[in-house]
Amino acid sequence: MSSCDLCVVRNRAICAALDSKELLALNAIGRTRSLQAGESLIWEGEDSVLVANVIDGVLKLSTNTEDGREQIVGVVYPSDFIGRPFGGTSGHGVIALTDAKVCVFSRGDFDAFARDHPALEHKLLERTLGELDRTRRWMLLLGRKSAGEKLASFLLELVERLSGAGCRPDTADPSRRIITLPFSRQQIADVLGLTIETVSRQFTRLKNEGVIDLPSRREVTILDHERLVAEAG
């Protein structure tokens, strides 16, 4: 495993709470792992045996209904923490949406380390509460917002959460942002609880109204951020 000091999400991940000596100890129990798009890291319903920090890429949290349908219940981005420390089973699967790199720890080793380092436990609690707030906002999005509001809210979240090549300034106008979507239209529909036809119609409407541009099927340029915020309700 490469040094934690060289990690690109070092200052944003939960290990930001640790000093250099503590990072060396954490480094000794972790390892980096590369995932290909579609590869599973954690399986739903199995014992929680590992936890991880996302270094690069985007992963989905999903669960299956009794009739075999998949429901995406969350998305994790670089610097996010995944897994269930301190016991229990995994309530959802974790699958790479894009090629990804994660820093993986045995749950038992991580639990022991966290108990000995209160600053890390505190940071983990902060992340958990932040995730709870995002979950509550997501419940509002899925339960009360219109199709247009859902898609606009989703695009704003991508602007906030993605970095680097995932969300970059437009060279022609740095005030505009270009999002490289880690999702297919069908996956966006699954996340938002919409049909793919509805998602496509809303993309087309936002483009026709000058809020966004669609230079390719996997890219979205935010032309008018304020109008997108208004559209999100």
- Provide CATH code, domain 4-141: 2.60.120.10
Helix axes 118-144 and 147-161, enclosed angle (nearest 10): 160
pLDDT class of 98 with cuts at 50, 70, 90? confident
CA dist., res. 188 & res. 178, Å (int): 17
CA dist., res. 63 & res. 135, Å (int): 15
> What percentage of the chain has pLDDT greater than the value 90?
30
Lowest mean per-residue pLDDT among 6-10, 74-78, 143-147, 218-222: 6-10
Instruction: Return the DSSP state at 75.
Output: E
The CATH topology of domain 145-231 is Arc Repressor Mutant, subunit A (1.10.10)
pLDDT class of 1 with cuts at 50, 70, 90? very low
The pLDDT tens digits of the residues spanning 184-210 come to: 898 888 888 889 999 999 999 999 999
Q: How far is CA 25 from CA 20, 122, 124, 137, in A?
A: 9, 18, 17, 36
pLDDT value of residue 148 = 93
H-helix segments, 84-232: 107-116, 118-144, 147-161, 185-192, 196-208, 225-231
User: How do the domains of the chain map onto residue ranges?
Assistant: 4-141, 145-231
Residue 4, pLDDT above cutoff 90: no
The pLDDT tens digits of the residues spanning 54-96 come to: 998 889 888 887 787 777 788 888 888 888 888 778 888 899 9
